[in-house]
Amino acid sequence: MPDSPTDIATFPPLGAPVRLDDGRGATVVRIDADLTRRCRLETGEVVCVSPHTLRLQRGERTVLDGAIALRVVAGSRAQGLASDDSDTDRRGVWMSPSSWWAHLAEPPEQLEDDPGQLVLWEIRKFLRLVAAGNPTTVETLFSPIVETANEIGHELLARRESFLARSTVDRFIEYGRAQLREVVARAKNDAADATRWRKQASHAIRIVMQACEIAERRTLSVALSSSDVASLQSVRAGGVSLDDVVAHCTRLIDAADRARSVSSLPERVDESALSDILLRARRATMSA
C-alpha cells in the first residue's frame, strides 16, 4: 500500500484485497486508464469496478491516517450500553486529497473497514448528511469519545450545536417511527427470536429520546444517563412487553412532536455554514 492516500490512481493498488459493495471479496488485478479496477473474485470471475465503490479492508486504515479529519467511538460503547462482548464501532470524516479530484473517476464517498466497525465519510458527503439531519452522522459529532481530530475536525466539534434544526428533529422522529414499525413487524413474524426486536426497540426509544433533547435543549447527549441505560437494558433483557414498548415509544414521539413545535431551533440547518467548512477543507488539502 502507498504511504499516504495522495493519488486515487494508486489506491487501492494492484494486488490489494478489496470488498465489493455487495460484500464479495476480490483482488485488484488491473487498473484501466479511466482508473476502473478489474477485480478477480474468489470464483475466478473478473469484474470491472469503480474505485469509489470499493470498501476499505482491515489493515489498510493506516493509509488514510493523514487524511482523517475526525474519528470517534460510536454505538453502544459511546452510549454506555456496551456489554463485554460488544464490538467497538468507530465513525469519522476524511478529506480526500486534491489530486483525487483530477480524474474522471469519482473519489470514494464512504470507506468501511470490514466488517463495518470503522466507517469514514468523505467530508462533502458527511456535511450533506448532517444538513439532512441523518441521525448516524449527527451522533458522530456528539460522541463523548473523540480519538482523532485535525483543524477541520475541531471546527466541526466546536460548531456542532449550530448544525441542529427543527428539520433534524423531524428526521430523528421519522427514523424512530420507522424503527418502531420494524419492531412490531419483527416481533410478530419472528417471535422465536425476541432478542433482535428487543434490541431494535431500545434503539427506537433512544432515537426518539434524542429527538426530544435536540428540540428542548438544542444539543445531543450520546452518552446516556445511568437511569436511561437501566431502562433501555431492561427493554433489551425482556423486562418490558411489546405493548409497553409501543406505548412508551408512541408517548415519546408525541412529546418530541410537541417539543419540536415550540423549539427555538431554526427551521433548517444553515447549509452555507457547512459549505464554508467544506471550502476550507478543500483549501487545506490543496495546500498540504
Q: So what's the pLDDT on residue 259? A: 98
Identity of the amino acid at 195: T
For the cut 70, the answer to whether the pLDDT of residue 210 exceeds it is yes
Lowest mean pLDDT among 1-5, 165-169, 276-280: 1-5
CA distances in angstroms from 206 to 20, 79, 116, 196, 210, listed in the order given:
32, 10, 22, 16, 6
Lowest mean pLDDT among 5-19, 121-135, 189-203, 248-262: 5-19
Q: Report the helix count and the strand count for the chain, using DSSP H and E.
A: 9, 9
Domain boundaries along the sequence of the chain:
8-163+272-280, 166-262
Buried b (16+ CB within 10 A) or exposed e, 106-136: bbbbbbbbbeeebbbbbbbebbbbbbebbbe
For the cut 90, the answer to whether the pLDDT of residue 5 exceeds it is no
Whole-number Å distance between alpha carbons of 157 and 132: 18
- With cut-offs at 50, 70 and 90, classify the pLDDT of residue 10: low
Q: In sequence order, which residues have a C-beta less than 8 Å from that of residue 268 and are 6 or more positions away? A: 165, 166, 167
Q: So what's the pLDDT on residue 118? A: 82
- With cut-offs at 50, 70 and 90, classify the pLDDT of residue 22: confident
- With cut-offs at 50, 70 and 90, classify the pLDDT of residue 42: confident
For the cut 60, the answer to whether the pLDDT of residue 198 exceeds it is yes
- With cut-offs at 50, 70 and 90, classify the pLDDT of residue 283: very high
Query: How many beta carbons lie within 10 A of that of residue 92, not counting itself?
Result: 25
Identity of the amino acid at 25: G
Q: So what's the pLDDT on residue 27? A: 81
CA distances in angstroms from 109 to 32, 99, 121, 123, listed in the order given:
21, 15, 6, 8
Q: So what's the pLDDT on residue 39? A: 85
For the cut 70, the answer to whether the pLDDT of residue 226 exceeds it is yes
**Residue 174: exposure state from Cβ atoms within 10 A (0-12, 13-18, ≥19):** middle
31 within 8 A of 45, measured Cβ to Cβ:
no
pLDDT in tens, 227-282: 999 999 999 999 999 999 999 999 999 999 999 999 999 999 999 999 999 999 99
Q: What is the mean pLDDT of the chain?
A: 86
User: Can you tell me the mean pLDDT for 205-226?
Assistant: 97
Q: So what's the pLDDT on residue 274? A: 97
Mind giving me the DSSP string for 21-60? TTS-EEEEEEE-TT-PEEEEETTS-EEEE-GGGPBPPTT-
Q: So what's the pLDDT on residue 33? A: 67
105 within 8 A of 36, measured Cβ to Cβ:
yes
Whole-number Å distance between alpha carbons of 149 and 152: 7
User: Can you tell me the mean pLDDT for 27-35?
Assistant: 75
Residue 68: phi and psi, rounded to 5, are -80, 125
Nearest CA-CA partner of 288 in 159, 113, 99: 99
Percent of the chain with pLDDT over 90: 60
CA distances in angstroms from 283 to 9, 26, 95, 97, 209, listed in the order given:
21, 35, 11, 10, 38
Q: So what's the pLDDT on residue 241? A: 94
Q: So what's the pLDDT on residue 14? A: 67
Q: So what's the pLDDT on residue 119? A: 86
